[in-house]
Amino acid sequence: MMDSSQVSANSGILYVVATPIGNLADLSPRAVEVLGSVDRVAAEDTRHSGKLMQYCSIQTPMLALHEHNERERAPRLVEDMLKGWSIALISDAGTPLISDPGFNLVRLAREAGVQVVPIPGPSALICALSVSGLPTDRFVFEGFLPAKSSARRNRLEQLCGETRSLVFFESSHRIVDCLQDCQVVFGARRQAVVARELTKQFETIHSDTLEKLAQWVSDDPNQQKGEIVLLVQGQAETESHQVTPEAERILLVLLEELPIKKAAKLAARITGVNKRALYERALRLKEA
């Protein structure tokens, strides 16, 4: 851990700079000024970010800071900033640290007393949410779901009773399987939105029920390409007392091993369905 007593009036600044998620013209004038004035730009991929720097005619030297070297490199960068360097942190696209590297650097810098300054701008999360048509007053960002279907369904089941809008990032080669899993867990009629290639030439924002959305993406290979944000409407408050097919399936599995009361309690925790409704359903299942 860095010693904050090392901080002096000559210490540098860490700028956390948001960069475009597609359209390079979305880079703010303030971001251009900062990127051109710092001593170094710490980029997730210097080759990728090099195109942005060239577009803006910025000559600042870059260094790589990504998930494989951040823990090793971050302490050295903090030492450089304590000596007076100013560094701009950028990711491949959007706002750093949002499902991107940078957490360790920011944490260490703050612990050392280095000033950390945000340079706000594009974020795929907020961009997609703002045009989704889903409620935006309260939402949950889950980042990337697990790659394997079993783990993905387990995570989705934990969110089954969530009433806030759900936002996920998903890779193009998993979007079909992910939508199918969402359909199984949340129900075929739950509203959802696929926001793909935002701000780019082939931008697509399509909303429908999970059932129809899964079929639409499956039938069109073009919708299985690029950067994707998936948004799912939260469970309606009135739905929490309805035992969904998925909740009943989970309840049946638990009833094989547990007493009715414990099975209903655990099923309620997993699915978000009302415990009393599950208990009554369990009684009827046992009788049957």
Q: Would you state the pLDDT for residue 169? A: 98
The string of DSSP codes covering 182-233 is HHHHH-TT-EEEEEESTTSTT-EEEEEEHHHHHHHHHH-GGGGSS-EEEEEP
Q: Would you state the pLDDT for residue 123? A: 97
Cα 141 to Cα 50, 235, 268: the distances in Å are 29, 15, 22
Q: Would you state the pLDDT for residue 237? A: 67
Q: Would you state the pLDDT for residue 9? A: 63
Residue partners of 52: CB distance under 8 A and separation at least 6: 19, 20, 24, 27
Residues of the chain with pLDDT under 50: 1-2, 4-5
**pTM of the predicted model, to two decimals?**
0.80
Closest CA to 53 of 81, 34, 78: 34
Q: CA 268 to CA 243: how far, in whole Å?
A: 10
Q: Would you state the pLDDT for residue 246? A: 85
> At what angle are helices 175-186 and 245-255 packed, to 10 degrees?
80
Q: Would you state the pLDDT for residue 235? A: 86
Assess contact for 2 and 111: CB atoms under 8 A. Answer: yes
Strands 115-119 and 204-209: unpaired
pLDDT per residue as tens digits for the range 193-214: 999 999 999 999 999 999 999 9
Q: CA 179 to CA 96: how far, in whole Å?
A: 27
- Owner of token pair 């640290």: 97
Q: Would you state the pLDDT for residue 272? A: 74
pLDDT per residue as tens digits for the range 76-88: 999 999 999 999 9
Q: CA 12 to CA 56: how far, in whole Å?
A: 23
